[in-house]
């Protein structure tokens, strides 16, 4: 039980659990936005009172594509929000933090091999090089 307890109390497991709880709450929020705001807006343009009731019938089988459209809108909104509110800012932050280290090698002008910066002769083609 001690090992299992240590596994559960690791930082990444707790972070994952918090992320799942926040994600579930966010999914509920997005579903409410789609159901209560976007669906009536689209329904008003399409002159239909209830977007989720859109359907068609083939051979007596009823296909409710309105519910699918609600789910699709919720997915697109959640994906867009995650990308613009999480992925882009984190990528910008990581790009500003992650700087390229000073190079320790340079290319030989004759054979294009990587050689140390302070080298005056290439170890591959033995050409004489100017100091960097």
Q: How far apart are CA 78 and CA 3, in angstroms?
A: 37
Same domain, 108 and 49: no
Instruction: Please list, in sequence order, all residues whose beta carbon lies within 8 angstroms of the beta carbon of residue 127, skipping any fewer than 6 positions away.
Output: 108, 109, 110, 111, 121
Same domain, 77 and 129: no
Write down the H helix ranges in 1-132.
2-8, 11-33, 39-46, 65-82, 88-97
Q: What is the pLDDT of residue 132?
A: 65
Q: Which of 31, 131, 41 is nearest to 74 (CA)?
A: 31
Reading the chain (132 residues) residue by residue, the pLDDT tens digits are 888 777 777 767 777 888 899 888 888 888 788 778 877 777 778 776 566 778 899 999 999 888 888 788 778 877 887 788 878 988 888 888 777 666 888 888 889 889 888 888 898 898 888 776
Q: What is the pLDDT of residue 51?
A: 67
Q: What is the pLDDT of residue 78?
A: 77
What is the number of structural domains in the chain?
Answer: 2
Q: What is the pLDDT of residue 100?
A: 66
Same domain, 109 and 92: no
| Long-range contacts from 89-95, C-beta under 8 angstroms, 24+ separation | none
Same domain, 66 and 108: no
Q: How far apart are CA 67 and CA 119, in angstroms?
A: 68
Helical packing angle, 11-33 and 65-82, nearest 10°: 130
Q: What is the pLDDT of residue 57?
A: 92
Q: What is the pLDDT of residue 101?
A: 66
């Amino acid at each position: 039980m001690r090992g299992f307890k240590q596994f559960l109390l690791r930082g990444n497991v707790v972070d994952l659990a918090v992320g799942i709880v926040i994600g579930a709450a966010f999914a509920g929020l997005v579903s409410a936005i789609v159901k209560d705001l976007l669906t009536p807006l689209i329904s008003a343009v399409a002159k239909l009172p209830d977007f989720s009731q859109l359907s068609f019938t083939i051979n007596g089988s009823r296909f409710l594509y309105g519910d699918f459209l609600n789910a699709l809108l919720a997915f697109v909104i959640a994906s867009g929000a995650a990308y613009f509110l999480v992925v882009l800012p984190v990528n910008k932050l990581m790009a500003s933090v992650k700087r390229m280290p000073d190079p320790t090698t340079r290319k030989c002008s004759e054979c294009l091999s990587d050689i140390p910066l302070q080298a005056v002769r290439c170890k591959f083609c033995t050409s004489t090089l100017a100091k960097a």
